[in-house]
A and B are shown apart, each in its own frame.
Chain A
Amino acid sequence: MAVSDYLRVVTATPAKPALAERLRRIWETPAGIGGWISTVDHKQIGIRYIITAFAFLIAGGVEALIFRLQLAGPNLHLLTPEQYDQLFTMHGMTMIFLYAGPVLSGFSNYLWPLLLGARDMALPRLNALSYWIYLCAGIFLYLAFAFGFGPNDGWFNYVPVAARAYDGGPNIDFYSLGMILLGLSTTVGSINFVVTFLRLRAPGMSINRVPILAWGTLTASAANIFAIPAVSLAFFLLWMDRNAGTHFFDVATGGQPLLWQHLFWMFGHPWVYAIVLPAMGMVSDGLPVFCRRPLVGYTPVALATVATMVLGFGVWVHHMFATGLPSVSLSFFSAASIIIALPSAVGVFAWIATIWAGKPVFTTAFMFFASFIVLFTIGGVSGYMTGAVPVDWQLTDTYFVVAHIHYVLIGINVFPVVGATYFWFPKFTGRMMDERLGRWNFWTMFLGFNLGFFPMHISGLLGMPRRVYTFADGMGWDWLNLITTLGSFVFAIGVLLFVINILVSHRRGRIAGNNPWDAPTLEWSTSSPPPAYNFVVIPTVASRHPLWEDRLEDNDRQQRSEVNRGLALDQGRESLGTTALDAELDVILKMPKDSYTPVILALTLTTILTGLVLHLWWLAIVGALATGIDIIAWLWPDATLGETAEPARG
């Protein structure tokens, strides 16, 4: 059918229950285990991502608490060096790969179609695949740890210490193949976000009306598509060196240890921006709601998001300042590493200006968003300091860098994520989180975090190296480490309060209604939680804040956003495709139904890698064949998706 056929379909208001019921039957995943496994509903996938990521956050946190006990004082013997090495490696790997990226994918997955006025993500089965691969990769890596073979050379896994000659067990093989598997998840997820951004926005949502969260995730996704191949290659070359007799990193036969570092950090640095830019976007969207005004400087903030990511590809050598590279090279990367603070400054000033020019509403979500600005600044300035090469030569590989990375990761990822949870939990579940418990949650986390991590700046300046299982007494580090350990436990209590608040509020929170915060964007026009089809009719958008248009004095133009009238698109699972820049009507998109092919593909891919890591080559071949069969089944032309040839029509 052509677009014109659909324009003759009746436009409807949500007051008509028949349309809603029709859409519900088309879109809702049936109850039961089959539906649960095969669903492609972005909201269910998003929730799964978030819950799984929070589970890994807790696992990574417990790992840290254990080794903080070992480091509470000098010369302690709670852990052996091998135990410490696995714990600190698992901690870093879990937090950076299994929590920080996926939690933002989860929020973005849930929210994007609702923010953009669509019924689903562009590629629903790929969406499900990205989650299932993530889960399989996480289990793969944690099974290694459970059996005593956890990765143990740091999350950064430098060679030669990670080569077979120096780490003979399967630990690093599990790490290498697990990361390749996880990279597939992130890559397909990123592709999905990019296509969705360009194709599925509601009519009228030109790119200058898109929520900043969408800009953040889009930027991160585009970057990931370029960056992940570098690290997947690095791990693949390492696996080959360790198992197939190659010599990419083997010095004796002409290999280069620094090759690993370049490939790893060419990915690693863009990755750390990918795990904060969507979170910054969440603050840019959430903070203005609690300042009762639109964000100051939308365009500079959106452009700064992209600029940060682009510059982020040009700084990776700042992880390698002490490796003996020529000064010319160091100068370039040092300058870039200092200048990259500039687009971040745009954001910081925009948020402060929004607060200053607005009227704050001190909800728990707002407190997390507002405090993030200070934590961001502290993390940013410690990064600025280490960006200066001669200063970095004193600070690199000391606890100063540990302080920096935790201020940026906890400050710019965890705090916004917790704030985002308080903000969007009502939309996800229909209930408010408890504000009184939220205050306790906030203060425990804020004070515990600063108590734990601020002293690390000082222990680093006093010369304490990082990645050490113990330290000597008499160095002046004893008190600092004890305070850090205490602070980390206080912070953990804060996280516990957060989890308790989620569990309690889910059962007994106040009913939220559609728009508990009186917020401006499209997701707040639906019920809480939204129906499976998101919108009864596809909305039309005329500004960045559709639900506030009536009340903003300067918005006296004729065009208004319309959420109550629009295309019904009820001839099956359908969403609207619009043009990339101006979101003009373009095409009706046929969306796939629930399917088992994604979860099966995740399992067959995991089977291949399990065969490789255990040297069971037959298993790898079986997995590869099963993968081929599943992909064929997935791609088999489906008439309901318009993939078969239609007879010519007059």
Chain B
Amino acid sequence: MVALTWGVLLVSIAVTIAIAVLLAVGLWHRPGIKPSAPGAALEVQRTQGGLRWVWIGVAVSSLILLGSVAWTMQVLARVTSPATQPALTIEVTGRQWWWQIRYLSADPSRSFTTANEIHIPAGVPVLFRLVGGDVIHSFWVPALFGKTDVIPGQTNETWLQARAPGVYQGQCTEYCGLQHARMGFLLIADTPAAFQDWWAHQLQSPAQAMSPEVNVGRSSFNVHCGSCHAVRGTDAAGVLGPDLSHLMTHRTLAAGMLANDAANLTHWISDPQALKPGSMMPKPDITAAELAEIHSYVDTLN
């Protein structure tokens, strides 16, 4: 796959240079004729044999093109499915303008939903089932290939494999409306052991015993945010927006747009339209005190 990309790129560069050189030599290998007054007669002549070079050029081009077709078909056949059975299937739904991620298990109590941050075990292929939501989006992690559209009414599949643990950026790659530019995600490849720990952690609910401010914040959150957002094991069960169960373990907010720090979080909760105009999250009707309380609760969602 990488070889094919480099291959066609190098062929392209070589062809461009070759044509440019042929053109340059053609232009300057003989003195030209100086343009003169309009209407002046200039010499006209026709030498034979030019057509032979056209056929030579076409023949060389044919070999390159046919070879490219053969190589392409070979690579396409190889990358359509992974070399080994995928260890895991993750379900991704594109929503304007964030990513819903569902980890499914044969045991329903081990299934969970998250948003905008995907973890996978490194070193093994992972299958992604792309379930269409509202409009067409496209799921792409540039460093790991696999770009595939997420289309309403159908389920597409792609597979990714990270050779080594690391953090990989992803983004929507099909124009999907106002905030297409800000529909990113992170894909984090963990060692297999760390991945299992991460999965186990996702199944946990937030701690119950909290400070009074946090308790007030939780109620406030459930009222103002719970109709769209869900936090596992609490009364907040909204499905219109991202699942926030472990938001504080995420590195970014607003689908990869903002670093997840205190200032950004406050700003995002208080006025999402100022940061991401047109996004589906309305400016909440809360006082500054309520904002602080909600923030203190969200801070506990580790």
Contact = CB atoms under 8 A, between A and B. Distances in A.
Interface of A: 80-82, 85, 153-154, 158, 160-161, 166, 251, 255-258, 292-294, 296-297, 300, 322-324, 327, 330-331, 334-335, 338-339, 341-342, 345-346, 348-350, 352-357, 359-363, 370, 373-374, 377-378, 381-382, 384-385, 387-391, 393-394, 396-398, 426, 432, 435, 463, 465-472, 475, 510-518, 520, 548, 551-554
B39 A349 contact: no
Contacts of A551: 43-45
A524 B171 CA distance: 56
Interface string B72-112: 11011101100000000000000010000000000000000
B65 A338 contact: yes
Interface stretch (B117-125, B139-147, B227-235, B286-294): B139-147
Nearest to A323: B149
19 contacts: A81-B278, A160-B136, A161-B175, A292-B43, A293-B45, A300-B54, A322-B174, A331-B73, A335-B73, A345-B61, A346-B54, A352-B57, A359-B32, A361-B42, A374-B19, A397-B140, A463-B171, A511-B38, A518-B39
In the complex, which of the residues A80, A361, A388, A548 has the most CB atoms of chain B within 10 Å of its own CB atom?
A388
Interface in B20-73: 20, 22-23, 25-27, 29-35, 38-47, 49-51, 53-54, 57-58, 61-62, 65-66, 68-69, 71-73
A467 B68 contact: no
B175 A467 contact: yes
Contacts of B145: 390, 393-394
B136 A158 contact: yes
A160 B171 CA distance: 19
| 3 tightest Cβ-Cβ pairs between the two chains A and B | A516-B38, A324-B156, A381-B12
Given A361-B32, A397-B174, A385 B136 contact: no
A324 B50 CA distance: 46
Contact of B172 (A166, A391, A465, A515): A465
Given A356-B53, A465-B171, A251 B152 contact: yes
A553 B45 contact: yes
A342 B65 contact: yes
B58 A161 contact: no
A151 to B, nearest CB: 13
A390 B51 contact: no
B177 to A, nearest CB: 5
B205 interface: no
Contacts of B135: 158, 160-161, 166
B281 interface: no
Contacts of A296: 50-51, 53-54
A463 B54 CA distance: 37
B250 interface: no
B244 to A, nearest CB: 22
A324 B148 contact: yes
B75 A390 contact: yes
A359 B26 CA distance: 9
Contacts of A257: 136, 151-153
A362 B32 contact: yes
A390 B4 contact: yes
Interface in B159-177: 169, 171-177
A617 B160 CA distance: 53
A140 B69 CA distance: 44
Contacts of A335: 69, 72-73
B20 A374 contact: yes
Contacts of B208: none
B149 A322 contact: yes
Nearest to B175: A467
Given A251-B152, A257-B136, A362-B32, 17 more contacts: A153-B177, A166-B134, A251-B132, A257-B151, A257-B153, A322-B149, A338-B72, A348-B57, A354-B50, A381-B12, A382-B12, A388-B4, A396-B173, A465-B181, A466-B175, A517-B38, A518-B42
Nearest to B18: A377
A388 B8 contact: yes
A161 B76 contact: no
A360 B32 contact: yes
Contacts of A334: 69, 72-73, 76
Q: Tell me if B's interface is mostly helix, strand, loop or mixed.
A: mixed
Contacts of A322: 138, 147-149, 173-174
A342 B61 contact: yes
B43 A359 contact: yes
A377 B57 CA distance: 13
Interface of B: 1, 4-5, 8-9, 11-13, 15-16, 19-20, 22-23, 25-27, 29-35, 38-47, 49-51, 53-54, 57-58, 61-62, 65-66, 68-69, 71-73, 75-77, 79-80, 96, 130, 132, 134-136, 138, 140, 142, 145-149, 151-154, 156-157, 169, 171-182, 184, 256-257, 277-278
A361 B154 contact: no
A297 B52 CA distance: 9
A448 to B, nearest CB: 19
A316 B130 CA distance: 24
Given A339-B69, A348-B19, A553-B45, A513 B4 contact: no
A510 B37 CA distance: 9
Given A359-B33, A360-B27, A385 B19 contact: no
B134 A160 contact: yes
Contacts of A388: 4, 8, 68, 71-72, 75
Given A81-B179, A338-B68, A393-B145, A378 B16 contact: yes
A396 B23 contact: no
Contact of A468 (B27, B29, B72, B181): B181
Contacts of A353: 26, 50-51, 53-54
Contacts of B177: 85, 153, 161, 166
Contact of A349 (B53, B80, B136): B53
Contacts of A354: 50
A284 to B, nearest CB: 13
A483 to B, nearest CB: 20
Contacts of B31: 359
A330 B79 CA distance: 13
Contacts of A553: 45-46
Nearest to A154: B175
B54 A297 contact: yes
B66 to A, nearest CB: 8
A248 B41 CA distance: 63
A292 to B, nearest CB: 5
A80 B61 contact: no
Contact of B39 (A384, A463, A515): A515
A646 to B, nearest CB: 48
A154 B278 CA distance: 17
Nearest to B42: A518
Contacts of A465: 140, 171-173, 180-181
Given A388-B72, A390-B72, A518 B40 contact: yes
A293 B16 contact: no
B145 to A, nearest CB: 6
A342 B62 CA distance: 7
Contacts of A348: 19, 57
B185 to A, nearest CB: 13
Contacts of B73: 331, 334-335
A363 B38 contact: no
Contacts of A516: 38-39
Given A356-B53, A388-B8, A393-B146, A377 B19 contact: yes
Contact of B138 (A352, A397, A435): A397
B59 to A, nearest CB: 10
A450 to B, nearest CB: 12
A396 B148 CA distance: 10
A350 B16 contact: no
